[in-house]
Structure 1
Amino acid sequence: MSKGSPLTSAEARATKRFVCVATQVPQSIRSNPTGWMTLIESDERSTSMEEMDDTNSVVEQKSLDWNEDFLRILLSVHRLSLNDQTNYEKEELHSLHHAAVSERDCNTCRDFTAQVVDVCSHLLGLLLLVVIVAAFVYASRLFGPKTPLWEKDEDVYTSIHNDGRREKQSFPSFLAHSKNVTPSKDLIHLSVVIPAYDEEQRLPVMMEEALGHLKSRQRKDPNFSWEIIIVDDGSKDKTSEVSLAYSKQEGSDRVRVLTLKKNRGKGGALRRGFTCTRGKLVLMADADGATKFSDYDRLEEKMRSIQTEDVGFVAGSRAHLQQEAVAQRSFFRTILMHGFHFFLNAVAVRGVKDTQCGFKLFTRQTSRMLFPNLHVERWAFDIELILLAQRLNVPIAEVPVNWTEIPGSKLSPVEAALQMLRDVLRIRIGYMLGFWKIDRTLYRD
């Protein structure tokens, strides 16, 4: 605002009223800016247009020398006060609007949170239902019935004639009420069952040792009769061809080959192989030849001393290696064996120091009692065999054997340990809670 600029008519009238009144205002009010503003506002409401002319004489009488710029400043202060009031009202309205918006946002947030909680509760309920169904399905698989014994046309062996002709013949069966049960008069002294999976390299060494010992026993005792059943557990290599070569060499009455259509696991292969035996005694032996085959004589001698009513079970043991046997095994496998044995004593079976040795001898009746009732067909099947034998009051004994670790094992120690841990718990829970029961009709005539 420049000095000397003309006043508007409204400003001139207001100035006159202000001067008129100001000369009559006490000093205490004139020195107070708030008092001036109040004075101006009250004057604007009470002073009429006619009174403006009288103010001229008052101004002249008082001889006040009012500076025009000063009057403009006073008017500006008055205008600012009005603006401040308007701004205050605007701020108050803005605050009310902000509070309303905040309340609306809070309500929206609460509604959204309630919807999220509702959706999450439904999702959790659905997830719980899925978990229950999955657990039921998994438990049904874990504790379900035994796998079928045979697939179509699987329980046959190949008979090789002298002229090279091959003929498929059905295996006999030791299951009760089977149409192929071997008559008592046709039973032989010993059946050897060898499970083999991709063993074309290691099987010949074991077979040569086994055949040498069995033939030696037969020369000493003409009444000693025997057979070997090689169970090809779904091998991908030439295990069956190698086995059939021994069948051709020794005759299909002494060496028979059972070829499974798919891999069943060591326990599954033995379960099917034992079903086809004709021996009064049945020996299981590993295809790698880790156990010295001549130790069979020691197991047989022990069997004579413990069996009652044609029932008995003798296990080769590596637990006495330091005292009575010779063994060479890796440090890692030794630690794994001791840890697993400690777990077994705590959870599953007691009284047997070495459950996993693959050299075990059974009477025929014991084989009929145990193997058809097997549920576990992988590495922990030995545990179930021993548990079944203990539940059926089968006499059990251990005999130390000579054992050497043979290179070429396809067993992954860590994977096998985890699988065995799971299967041992399956065995314990399955029989403890009654999911699995012993079927005595399988061996009672």
Structure 2
Amino acid sequence: MPASVHLVIPCYRESGRIGPFLAELCETLAPAGGVTVRVVEDGSDEAERRRMRTLIDAQRARSPLLLEPLFLPHNLGKGGAVYSAWREEKSADWLAFVDADGACSAAEVLRLIQLARETPANTALFASRVKMLGRTVERDFRRHVIGRVYATLVSELLDIPVYDSQCGLKLVPRVSFERISPRLAVHGFAFDVELLAALLDSGCTVHEVPISWHETPGGKVHLLRDSWRMARDVWRIRQRRG
């Protein structure tokens, strides 16, 4: 049997755009076998929760791989939403997450799942938005520039030569995650950086995998406000690493 994968989709006020991507994802992943998908609703208001419940219930009627959603009582941040579901999963070989906006297509998710199943033990896969032949990356110019500055900050402060720590598709062996889970403290948008650092510090290998990416409108990241918070979190991660 192929290695099992538990894929989490963190959501905060995403009912307006997750529907088509969720349907495409379930249809694309069904033939792969051994994959489960779980939506985590990260403490949105009651009306949004009802909309999300209706949407997911309709999709679950057609897609056995889509599990009961996890509704968090309070907003924990993207990392908190991902970790809440990952920590509940006790049997999957791989833990994964993908952003709800569909910027990373279902076909790319499937490709990385197939690659993970061929990957040596204790090796995580982080998708990376690298412009290169054979891959299409469509990003807002400002986001691209800030992303490059942020990646440089991560590389310099943490001595990790990563190109793209923030891409919204990652796959981690469950046993590797369970080894580092108690020390993960960052739950906001910089959680990817702490996850990366903790995996490397534990001896886990991390490979960046170039993917195609088509940015979609309606993102929740505020460029100036959240960039400052993320930079602050990187500094705190550095201090904790010693």
Normalized against structure 2, the TM-score is what? 0.90
Go from structure 1 to structure 2 and tell me whether the alpha carbon gap of 1:303 and 1:387 turns closer, same or farther (over 3 Å shift).
same
For residues 109 and 235 of structure 2, the distance between their equivalents in structure 1, rounded to whole angstroms, comes to: 32
Deviation per CA, 1:232-254: give whole Å up to 9, x if none: 00012222332233234435x74
For residues 257 and 272 of structure 1, the distance between their equivalents in structure 2, rounded to whole angstroms, comes to: 12
Q: Which amino acid aligns with 2:58?
A: A
Q: What are the equivalent positions in structure 2 for 1:261-410 lying under 5 Å apart?
A: 261-277=73-89, 278-304=91-117, 306-308=119-121, 311-318=122-129, 320-410=130-220
Q: Which has the higher strand share?
A: 2
Q: Give identity over the alignment, percent.
A: 28
Q: CA RMSD in A?
A: 2.1
Highest CA radius of gyration, 1 or 2? 1
> Gapped runs of 5+ residues in structure 1?
1-186, 218-223, 433-445
Residue of 13, 25, 35 corresponding to 1:198 = 13
Go from structure 1 to structure 2 and tell me whether the alpha carbon gap of 1:331 and 1:254 turns closer, same or farther (over 3 Å shift).
closer
Give secondary structure in 2 for the equivalent of 1:384.
Answer: helix
Give secondary structure in 2 for the equivalent of 1:409.
Answer: coil
Give secondary structure in 2 for the equivalent of 1:250.
Answer: coil
For residues 364 and 298 of structure 1, the distance between their equivalents in structure 2, rounded to whole angstroms, comes to: 19
Go from structure 1 to structure 2 and tell me whether the alpha carbon gap of 1:362 and 1:230 turns closer, same or farther (over 3 Å shift).
same
For residues 55 and 84 of structure 2, the distance between their equivalents in structure 1, rounded to whole angstroms, comes to: 20
Deviation of residue 349 (structure 1)? 4.3
Deviation per CA, 1:83-106: give whole Å up to 9, x if none: xxxxxxxxxxxxxxxxxxxxxxxx
> Gapped runs of 5+ residues in structure 2?
none
Tell me which of the two structures has the higher relative contact order, counting C-alpha pairs closer than 8 angstroms and 6 or more residues apart: 2
Matched, 1:229 2:44: no
For residues 18 and 180 of structure 2, the distance between their equivalents in structure 1, rounded to whole angstroms, comes to: 26
User: In 2, are the aligned partners of 1:376 and 1:384 still within 8 Å (CA)?
Assistant: yes
User: In 2, are the aligned partners of 1:306 and 1:395 still within 8 Å (CA)?
Assistant: no
Q: Which has the higher helix share?
A: 1
User: In 1, are the aligned partners of 2:27 and 2:63 still within 8 Å (CA)?
Assistant: no
Deviation of residue 333 (structure 1)? 0.7
Give secondary structure in 1 for the equivalent of 2:209.
Answer: strand
User: In 2, are the aligned partners of 1:196 and 1:239 still within 8 Å (CA)?
Assistant: no
User: In 1, are the aligned partners of 2:28 and 2:107 still within 8 Å (CA)?
Assistant: yes
User: What corresponds to 1:244 in structure 2?
Assistant: 57
User: What corresponds to 2:238 in structure 1?
Assistant: 428
For residues 271 and 286 of structure 1, the distance between their equivalents in structure 2, rounded to whole angstroms, comes to: 14
Deviation per CA, 1:206-242: give whole Å up to 9, x if none: 101111111233xxxxxx2221111000012222332
Deviation per CA, 1:106-164: give whole Å up to 9, x if none: xxxxxxxxxxxxxxxxxxxxxxxxxxxxxxxxxxxxxxxxxxxxxxxxxxxxxxxxxxx
Give secondary structure in 1 for the equivalent of 2:4.
Answer: strand
Q: Which amino acid aligns with 2:41?
A: D
User: What corresponds to 1:45 in structure 2?
Assistant: none
User: In 1, are the aligned partners of 2:124 and 2:207 still within 8 Å (CA)?
Assistant: yes
Deviation of residue 301 (structure 1)? 4.5
